Structure 1
Amino acid sequence: MNELTILATLASIHWVALMSPGPDFALVVQNTTRYGRQTGLYIALGLSCGILLHSILSLTGVSYLVHQHPGLFAMVQLLGGSYLLYLGIGALRGLWLRRYADHSDKNATQQTGDFLLASKRQAFSRGFATNILNPKALVFFISLMSSLVPAGMSLGGKGAALVILWALSFLWFALLAWLLSSSKLQSKLHNAAKYIDAACGFIFSLIGFTILLSSLADITMMLLE
């Protein structure tokens, strides 16, 4: 298999994976719906940079070493699961506070706005952290790189693979943010914002809780051995 075929296969698999609903997708949908295009684009940039770092770590073998060391991988799972659960609970809490904001003081509205995103840097950081702390992403890129990118691939080929993975990631999430923030769609989504927040909060909470259970089970097994 020549390098062009490898890169084309890598791009195809990654593109399909990007379109699968998950924490990254939910993060863009939730915050673009509520805060608009600019926030969505900075989240897209953060997510794509997280994917780039995952790709580099997988290509250099660092992620493989982490995955093969049960203690380190369990720590990654704990951090990732806790962060996603934090996002989920925060989204649901924000929804609850907004629901009763009219019956309380202005601090409730301020809290819900501050919890999610208040700046470009915060949007980028939220996107980056959501992706890089997702242990499922770590495993995915280990599998992708180890199965498609041969050790003997040229440095230029490996560099091209990194650029393709980053570019496709940013393109997809930026396109999603752009479409969701169109004027016609925004007017419709505004009325559905609370339902979107609830769905995204549930997704974050469910995935985070599942990852935490898995990591705790792994830690228990290690302690019993």
Structure 2
Amino acid sequence: MNEVTTLATLVTVHIIALMSPGPDFALVVQNAGRYGRQTGIMIALGLSLGILLHSILSLTGASLLIQQQPMLFSLLQAAGGSYLLWLGIGALKGTWRHLKQKRQPPAEEQGGTGQTARVLANRKQALLKGFTTNILNPKALVFFISLLSTLVPASMSLGGKVSAIGLLWLTSFLWFATLAWLLTGERLQKKIRHWTPAIDATCGLLFATIGSLILGNLALHS
């Protein structure tokens, strides 16, 4: 298999994985739907930077070293599971608050600046949230170790490996940014606002379930 074929296979498998519902997907849906396009795209950038770091660590062997060190991997699992659980609880609390306040006028009807200010104030927070969600996900670490060790041979040239890292980052950013862009279309936004409690509840349950499973599995094997 030549390098072009290897890269094409790598990108195809990665795109399929990106399209599978998970914490990254849910984070974009929840935040783009609630805070708007700019926040959604910053979340996408943060997620893609997390994937970029995972790719670099996997190709350099650092991720494999972490996985082979029980203490380090357990710490990562504990941090990742706790963070996802925290996100889930936060989303469920947000659902409850939204249901209590649903009769109040939305921020854009109270002067038109509240939502914009919140979006602008949260750009850096959105970037960090996306990055943290991806980099602390122990399943992502295992996935990239498996993906890159299987599809990227040790004999691949440095240029090929750099291209692999770049393509993984680019496809990740384009996918999540496109998702954020589509979710913030004017017509869809009107529908999303109506379904905000359901979206928050679904994402919250997903985050909390995955986080609890990671922590539960860690507790069983400790």
TM-score (normalizing by structure 1): 0.89
Letter aligned with residue 53 of structure 2? L
Corresponding residue to 1:158 among 147, 156, 161: 161
Corresponding residue to 2:152 among 145, 149, 152: 149
Q: Is the 8 A contact 1:50 1:131 kept in 2?
A: yes
2:112 match? none
Which secondary structure does the structure 1 equivalent of 2:221 belong to? Answer: helix
Counterparts of 1:218 and 1:71, CA distance in 2: 12
Identical-residue share of aligned pairs (%): 61
Q: 1:27-74 deviations in whole A, cap 9, x for unaligned?
A: 000011111100000000000000000000000001001111111111
Q: Is the 8 A contact 1:74 1:218 kept in 2?
A: no
1:205 is the counterpart of 2:208: yes
Counterparts of 1:192 and 1:150, CA distance in 2: 46
Which secondary structure does the structure 1 equivalent of 2:195 belong to? Answer: helix
Counterparts of 2:125 and 2:161, CA distance in 1: 31
Alignment of 1:25-174 (within 5 A): 25-101=25-101, 118-174=121-177
Which secondary structure does the structure 2 equivalent of 1:16 belong to? Answer: helix
Letter aligned with residue 68 of structure 1? Q
1:24 is the counterpart of 2:24: yes
Counterparts of 2:122 and 2:94, CA distance in 1: 17
Which secondary structure does the structure 1 equivalent of 2:156 belong to? Answer: coil
Q: 1:77-127 deviations in whole A, cap 9, x for unaligned?
A: 0000000000000010111122224799xxxxxxxx9xx974100000000
Return the offset for 1:13. Answer: 0.3
Letter aligned with residue 57 of structure 1? L
Counterparts of 2:215 and 2:103, CA distance in 1: 36
4+ runs of 1 displaced by more than 4 Å?
A: none
Letter aligned with residue 12 of structure 2? S
Q: Is the 8 A contact 1:32 1:180 kept in 2?
A: yes
Return the offset for 1:218. Answer: 2.2
Counterparts of 2:103 and 2:10, CA distance in 1: 53
Letter aligned with residue 31 of structure 1? N
TM-score (normalizing by structure 2): 0.91
Which secondary structure does the structure 2 equivalent of 1:100 belong to? Answer: helix
Return the offset for 1:216. Answer: 1.5
Call closer, same or farther: CA 1:97–1:176 in 2, change over 3 Å. same
Q: How many residues align?
A: 209
1:191 match? 194
Query: Mind listing any 5+ residue stretches in structure 2 that lack a counterpart?
Result: 105-114
Letter aligned with residue 133 of structure 1? L
